[in-house]
Amino acid sequence: MSTEPWTAGDRQVVVIGSGPAGAAAARELLQHGISVTMLEAGLETPRGLLVRLGGRNYYRRVPPLREEVQHCVSGDPRTKCFAKLAPGGLTNNWTGAVPRFAPEDFTEGERLHERFRWPISYSDLVPYYEKIERSLEITADRRDVPQLPAGFSSHQNRLPDDWLNFQRVANQHGQGFTTYPLADGPPNLLVLRGTAFNSYTGIVRPLTRSAQFRLLTGAQALHLQSSELTGKVDAVVYHDRKKRSTERLSASAIVVACGPLGSAKLLHNSVSRTFPDGLGNSEGLLAPFLHDHPREWWIARMARPRKVPSPAAYLTRLPYQLSPPLMATSWTLGTANLQDKIRSRFGLRGKAVSVQLLGTMIPSECCVAKPSATTKDEFGLPALDVCIRYSDAEVDNVVRARQHLLNLMDEAGSRSTLDEIDPTLFPGTSAHYGGTTRMHAKPRYGVVDAWNRVYGAPNVLVCDAGCFTTAAEKNPTLTVMAIATRAAHRLADDLKRAQ
C-alpha cells in the first residue's frame, strides 16, 4: 500500500462520492476555504441525450441503470439496489424532482416514538434549501400549497386551467395540487447527457478550476482507518482502478457520501480496535431502519379530456392530522406518451395521464443493511446484505392511494379508470433508500448527530439519505443536498476554529 503525502495543509477534507450529496458538501467546504480531495469510484460520466424545447423534454436517453455494486438480497427477493459508479452518481439517471420537505415531515414521527424525532427542523434547512435551489435551475409554481412549501425556482410554471376544478377538490381534502418542482434546466437544451442537472457537470466539474480541489476518479474507498495511537479516524484506504493499487490518503476530516447503501458498507468495513463492530455501530444502529419509497406507475384514462400537464403536476399527501403517523403517499401526474407531450405544447387535450405513486415506510428494525456473513466483494471485504420487505400496511397504503386519486377525479367531474399497473411495488425501484446511518440527538437512536457527525468519530460525516431519521413521501435529493451543505458549513467552521 502506498501512502500519499499530506500536501494541502492541516485542513484537508476527503469527500467520498461525487453524487449530489458529496458534490454539495465539497462545494460548501471550498467556499469556506477548506481544501478538498474527492474520491470517486467511477471513471467517467456516461453519455446520454436530452432534447428540450419550449420547457418540455421531447427526447431523453439516459445511460442504462444497473445494479453496479453486487449487494446480497435477503428480504424480498425482487429487491433492486441500483447504483451508478460514475462521476455524478445517480443524477446521471434521475428525473430531477426536487420538492422541499414540509416542516411537519421533520416532526410527525414523534407521534409514534422518540426514535423518530429528527434532531433538525425545517427552519434549520431553509437557507441551505435556497442555496441549493439556486444552482439547480428549477421549474415550479412559486406558491406554497398544503404539505409542500415553495422554494426558489428559476422558471415559473402554472397548471393548465382545466385542472383548476381538480385543484379545488384536492384543496377541499386538505391536499395541494401544483406543478412538480423539477430541476429541468433552461427551456431549451441539447446536451449529451440524460439529465438537465447532473452533480458532476453542474457542481463538481466547475470546482476542478480551484487549486484547493482535487478529484480522483477510479478511486474506490475500501475502509476508513483509525490511528493506532489516538483511535481517531485519520485516513481513507482506497483502490486506485487506474494504477490497480491500494492507496492510503490521510485526512483531518472525511465526508462519506456513497449513497445510503454504499456509505453503510464503507462504515461496516471500517473495523478497528476502537470500532470493532464497524464505524458508528457501537449501538448496533448501523444496519436497521433501512427504508425506501414503495413506488408504482400506471396510466389513468379520463372520460373527459383535459390539457395534459407538462411539466408534470403534483398532488400532495393527505394532511398530517388525518393520516396515521409516517403513512403517506404523493401522486405525480404527467404525460403518458410523446403524442400527448406534443399535444400539450399546443394546448390540446388528451384522455390519459401517467401517475407515479410514492408511498412511505415506517423505519423499523426488520429492514437492515448489514455485512453478509458469507459473501465477499471483489476486494475480499464482506458484501452488503440488503434485507428489506414492505409490510402489508405499506402495500395497502399505496393500494388505497390509487382509489383516492380516482375518487378525486370523479369528484372533479372526470370519471377515470386505471390501465394495467406496472409491477414495480417491490423495494429499490425508486432508488430512494435511506435510514442506514440515521441522525438523532441521542446516540442510542442514531449513528450521526444533528451535524451528520458519526457518534464516537466526530471528524467523519455521513451526508447522504442514510442520515434520514424518517422517510417523507417526497423525493429525497434536494433535502439530502441541503443537509450535506449545512453539515459541511459547520465542519468548515470547526476546522477553521481548530487552527
Ligand X SMILES: Cc1cc2nc3c(=O)[nH]c(=O)nc-3n(C[C@H](O)[C@H](O)[C@H](O)COP(=O)(O)OP(=O)(O)OC[C@H]3O[C@@H](n4cnc5c(N)ncnc54)[C@H](O)[C@@H]3O)c2cc1C
Residue ranges in contact with ligand X by CB under 6 A: 16-22, 39-42, 65, 82-83, 85-86, 89-91, 93-97, 220-221, 257-259, 262, 266, 431-432, 464-465, 475-477, 480
Least distance to ligand X, CB of residue 236, Å: 8
Nearest-approach distance from CB 431 to ligand X, in angstroms: 4
Nearer CB in complex with ligand X: 171/375: 375
CB-wise, 185 or 262, nearer to ligand X?
Answer: 262
Q: Cβ contacts of residue 113 below 8 Å, gap of 6+?
A: none
Compute CA distances 451 → 100, 104, 255, 436, 461, whole Å: 19, 20, 12, 16, 8
Q: How far is the CB of 473 from ligand X (least distance, A)?
A: 12
How do strand 36-40 and strand 13-16 relate by DSSP bridges? Answer: parallel
Task: Quote the least distance from Cβ 497 to ligand X, whole Å.
Answer: 27
Q: For residues 99 and 478, is the Cβ–Cβ distance under 8 A?
A: yes
Of 97 and 353, which CB lies nearer to ligand X in the complex structure? 97
Q: How large is the angle between the packed helices 392-411 and 164-172, nearest 10 degrees?
A: 130
Q: What is the nearest approach in angstroms of ligand X to the Cβ of residue 188?
A: 21
Taking a C-beta distance cutoff of 8 angstroms, is the pair 427, 79 a contact? Answer: yes
> Omega into 160 within 30° of 0, i.e. cis?
no
Q: 122-133 and 477-498 helices cross at what angle (nearest 10)?
A: 100
- Alpha helix stretches (DSSP H) within 53-191: 122-133, 164-172
CB of 86 to ligand X, least distance (A): 6
Question: Which C-beta is closer to ligand X: that of 18 or that of 175?
Answer: 18
The distance of closest approach from Cβ of residue 488 to ligand X in the complex, given in angstroms and rounded to an integer, is 13
With respect to ligand X, which residue has the nearer C-beta, 86 or 368? 86
* Contact between 32 and 496 (Cβ < 8 Å): yes
Task: Please report how close the Cβ of residue 17 comes to ligand X at its closest, in angstroms.
Answer: 3
Q: Spell out the residues 6+ positions from residue 191 whose beta carbon is closer than 8 angstroms to its own.
A: 49, 50
Selection from 313, 301, 309, 300 nearest residue 348 by Cα? 309
Q: Which three cell numbers mark 222? A: 475500501
Residue closer to ligand X (CB basis): 94 or 445: 94
Nearer to ligand X, 90 or 140 (CB): 90
DSSP 274: S
The torsion of the CA quartet 13, 16, 20, 21, rounded to 10 degrees, works out to: -70
CB 307 within 8 A of CB 344: yes
Between 467 and 495, name the residue whose CB sits nearer to ligand X. Answer: 467
Task: Between 254 and 431, name the residue whose CB sits nearer to ligand X.
Answer: 431
Give least dist CB 262 to ligand X, A.
Answer: 4
In the three-class reduction of DSSP (H, G, I as helix; E, B as strand; rest coil), residue 349 is classed as strand
